[in-house]
Amino acid sequence: MADSWWQRLCGQSRVLVALGVLVLVILWIASGMLGREVDDAPPAVDRQPLAVAVTELEAEPVERLLVLQGRVEPDLRVMVRAETAGQVAEWEVARGARVAADEPLARLRMDDREARRRQAIARLRGAESEYEAAQRLHDQGHVSRTQLEAREAEREAARAELEAIELDIRNTRIVAPVAGVVNQRLAERGDFVARGDPVAEIVDNDPLLAVVHVPQHQIGRVEPGQAARIRFLDGRRAEGEVRFVSRVAEVGTQTFRVEVEVPNADEALPSGISAGVEIPTETVAAHKLSPAWMGLDDNGRVGVKTVDDEDRVVFHAVEVIRAATDGVWVTGLPERAQVITIGHGFVTPGETVRPRPGGEPPDAEAGVPQPVGGALP
């Protein structure tokens, strides 16, 4: 009985001790928190606008160019063909020689043509004699009108036969149909050519034609009479004029053929080579700037950010009209514009900024947000 009472008393004591320890721990923690000084709230920072570097640009008159790649062709290229059959007897000009119109190029062998010409002459004389005799008999009433007309027809047939053989003889001499340079000899001495076979090629390189193909969305900017500049691969340049603009697009490419006439009096410029063609279409006000100052807006438009008179950021969509080694020419900016050169990637349209002239970098004052590394793009 006494042991049971003692066990209950010991169990109650352990519970009281545990509760006492717990209370002491809670009081110690509370006393530490109450004794700590309340930290002062951080002072509010007066955030200033972001500093950006700007450069003032002024518009200048610039030619809007249509830049194309094309091929230089001769103004005239003629394939000379044989007008009668025969063997080439000799050439009277060398390849590369300049010839005038109707100048002989080559001669075909006569073969039996001279004999056939004499035969035609004899036949014509006999036909004329018979016709004259029939005419006298008809006048005397011994020959009918039908017989006279038959003799007349024989005379005209003999005359036509003589003219045909004489023309065939003339065609044995192959002549240049136009003035130019003998670019190729397609049949040499001893070759047999049939009627219509190519014998030589004549080209005329004065003037030259720079042929380009203009896309359908730009053909409205080109018209005959416009000036053009041609750049050859060897560095030479020439001035020309648009001579022809096709009114029908080529099937497949949907481009229009444009021919630029290039004077070449001394024939120093060759044909058949590639060349660049620049066609000034109009003069516009444009600004020259670095491509690094350009960016995209939320709609994917290429543009430039500027600062207005109230130091607010303004985005201007621009169009590149010309490219140079030290920058690009763009349209779409005001006549005078303060273009953001450093920091445009960290500001948005409508935001107020602190512009700094020229290439001066933004400062790093307290409270002014700076990108990592302290430099702005």
Map tokens 């750049």 to a residue: 231
Compute how many other C-beta atoms are within 10 angstroms of the C-beta atom of residue 209.
21
**For position 16, what pLDDT does the model report?**
62
Map tokens 């002549």 to a residue: 175
Taking the C-alpha atoms of residue 288 and residue 62, their distance in angstroms, rounded to an integer, is: 10
192-193 and 86-91 strand pairing: antiparallel
Compute how many other C-beta atoms are within 10 angstroms of the C-beta atom of residue 176.
21
Phi and psi dihedrals of 251, rounded to 5? -65, 135
Looking at residues 50-75, what average pLDDT do you find? 91
**For position 71, what pLDDT does the model report?**
93
**For position 105, what pLDDT does the model report?**
95
**Structure token digits, residue 2:** 């006494």
**For position 48, what pLDDT does the model report?**
82
Label residues 256-274 b or e (16+ Cβ within 10 Å = b): bbbbbbbebeeeebebeee
Beta bridge partners of 329: 288, 322
Looking at residues 48-60, what average pLDDT do you find? 90
For 1-10, 25-34, 334-343, which range has the lowest pLDDT when averaged over its residues? 1-10
**Percentage with pLDDT > 70 across the chain:** 82
Instruction: Grade residue 2 by pLDDT with cuts at 50, 70 and 90.
Output: low
Encode pLDDT of 67-122 as tens digits.
Answer: 999 999 998 999 999 999 999 999 999 998 999 999 999 999 999 999 999 999 99
- Tell me, yes or no, if the pTM score tops 0.85: no
**For position 363, what pLDDT does the model report?**
45
Instruction: Grade residue 268 by pLDDT with cuts at 50, 70 and 90.
Output: confident
Crossing angle for the helix pair 145-170 and 113-140, nearest 10 degrees? 160
Q: Say if residue 37's pLDDT is above 70.
A: no
Contact criterion met (CB below 8 Å) for 256 and 245: yes
Looking at residues 11-17, what average pLDDT do you find? 61
Instruction: Grade residue 131 by pLDDT with cuts at 50, 70 and 90.
Output: confident
| Among the listed residues 195, 179, 166, the one whose alpha carbon sits nearest the alpha carbon of residue 81 | 195
173-175 and 104-108 strand pairing: antiparallel
Instruction: Grade residue 139 by pLDDT with cuts at 50, 70 and 90.
Output: confident
Q: Chain-wide mean pLDDT for the chain?
A: 85
Name the more confident of 101 and 267. Answer: 101
**For position 88, what pLDDT does the model report?**
95
Compute how many other C-beta atoms are within 10 angstroms of the C-beta atom of residue 302.
15
Encode pLDDT of 193-251 as tens digits.
Answer: 999 999 999 999 889 999 999 999 999 999 999 999 999 988 889 999 999 999 999 98
**For position 12, what pLDDT does the model report?**
60
